A and B are shown apart, each in its own frame.
Chain A
């Protein structure tokens, strides 16, 4: 069974008929080829699939693609502006907040949602915002520092 939806993904508008049992994650990866968004647990527990839905961090593995109708989606691919990476992406690289990288898109999207809402979060606010994102490599310290660094650099600007 299909339903027509109209959705904006990373500033591009799509109008299409979509299977109603398709998950937002499958739509992004399989239909649009946006494979930066990862699937790990598929159960809402790890945050690897985090994207922004109307600016809010959500697990795309738990959301029906049809629920993106008339909504705005941002994925990791939508953060860089032309040749310039997002400050969060720069900061993750600089801090070495990445090892295997599987959690990174989700981490950055959760951090993005946080900074949009609160440009100057303290460590405990960062921890709370990233609590739904699991990293099996880094030990979190550098990730948290990377987010804090962006907040600091934007303060001095």
Chain B
């Protein structure tokens, strides 16, 4: 399967990339790892007249920071999966990375591409959402930032303008005693995309068993990845019990809008998200209290 011809640009630095985007953004596609874009171009779902290959912007490939973690948009999924630094600082991202696609995909696919592709099934999205990550957006006009929780608009659609790109993610440090979990049921077909996924960040008071903090985000359960603020609110301040977990997993169904598609039916997704959310919460509380 071949690609159609396009005009090709290979900016050597961020500034050059941004000025190219400013000139051609309306007719161009950005190529990072290409694991989402190339299949779409082969299927002619995306027909780009210009291709801006940003692989040479090595300044956007980094994992660093202390109280505020920073991850460059061009960091590969494999780089995150293998990062010893993240194992200590943010195991949730490392665990999530290990659940994406296959080695071949993780070796080239990037975290920026995963988010900018804006698939409802993008696995980094629920994780970044519960971490309250901030997205750094750059254009010739300068840099600005936005919360990941307001970044997605529709399938394949984000708040980015045609002349903008993502340069990094900021991730605030989570409080001591907070635990995070990512759960995913992948499709049995060869893409391995989530039928449903959930990321949970929570902490509980060890003595009273009362939930101090709860953040929940889900993938493949709505037109975009979403934070489930109502379910979170319902949990905080409650003492852990089977009953409250059942109420929470019911609430999460009310907050989502799953559809039936090739990967799974609406009913199956509802079943999965209830079970996975309850299971993830129990896992966190069990480990916290024991």
**A47→B192 CA distance, assembly (Å):** 13
Known pairs A43-B42, A132-B102; A63 contacts B1 (CB<8 A): no
**A3→B51 CA distance, assembly (Å):** 14
A147 located at the interface, meaning its Cβ lies under 8 Å from any Cβ of chain B in the complex: no
In the complex, the answer to whether A61 meets B1 with C-beta atoms within 8 Å is yes
B11 located at the interface, meaning its Cβ lies under 8 Å from any Cβ of chain A in the complex: no
What are the residues of chain B within 8 A of A66 when measuring CB–CB? 8, 10, 53
Contact with A along B212-235 (1 / 0, CB 8 A): 000000000000000000000000
**A133→B190 CA distance, assembly (Å):** 9
In the complex, the answer to whether A42 meets B108 with C-beta atoms within 8 Å is no
Give which listed residue, A53, A57, A64, contacts B103 with CB less than 8 A: A57
Interface residues of B in 9-67 (CB under 8 A from A): 10, 31, 34-35, 38-39, 42, 51, 53, 55
What are the residues of chain A within 8 A of B7 when measuring CB–CB? 1
Give which listed residue, B35, B38, B104, contacts A57 with CB less than 8 A: B104
What are the residues of chain B within 8 A of A57 when measuring CB–CB? 103-104, 107
What are the residues of chain B within 8 A of A21 when measuring CB–CB? 2-6, 8
What are the residues of chain A within 8 A of B8 when measuring CB–CB? 1, 3, 20-21, 66
Q: Could you say which interface size class chain A belongs to?
A: 35 or more
**How many A-B pairs with Cβ below 8 Å?**
87
Give B107's nearest chain A residue, CB to CB. A56
What are the residues of chain A within 8 A of B236 when measuring CB–CB? none
A90 located at the interface, meaning its Cβ lies under 8 Å from any Cβ of chain B in the complex: no
**A42→B190 CA distance, assembly (Å):** 12
In the complex, the answer to whether B5 meets A1 with C-beta atoms within 8 Å is yes
**How far in angstroms is the closest Cβ of chain A from B82?**
10
What are the residues of chain B within 8 A of A110 when measuring CB–CB? 103-104
In the complex, the answer to whether A132 meets B55 with C-beta atoms within 8 Å is no
In the complex, the answer to whether B108 meets A23 with C-beta atoms within 8 Å is no
**How far in angstroms is the closest Cβ of chain A from B170?**
28
In the complex, the answer to whether B42 meets A58 with C-beta atoms within 8 Å is no
In the complex, the answer to whether A131 meets B103 with C-beta atoms within 8 Å is yes
What are the residues of chain B within 8 A of A26 when measuring CB–CB? 2
In the complex, the answer to whether B103 meets A129 with C-beta atoms within 8 Å is yes
In the complex, the answer to whether B108 meets A58 with C-beta atoms within 8 Å is yes
What are some 29 contacts across the A-B interface (CB < 8 A)? A1-B5, A20-B6, A20-B51, A42-B42, A44-B39, A44-B101, A44-B104, A47-B102, A53-B107, A57-B107, A58-B108, A59-B35, A59-B104, A59-B105, A59-B108, A61-B1, A62-B38, A63-B34, A63-B108, A66-B10, A67-B53, A110-B104, A128-B103, A131-B102, A131-B192, A132-B101, A132-B103, A132-B104, A133-B102
Residues of A near any B CB (own CB < 8 A): 1, 3, 19-23, 26, 39, 41-47, 50, 53, 56-59, 61-64, 66-67, 110, 113-114, 128-129, 131-134
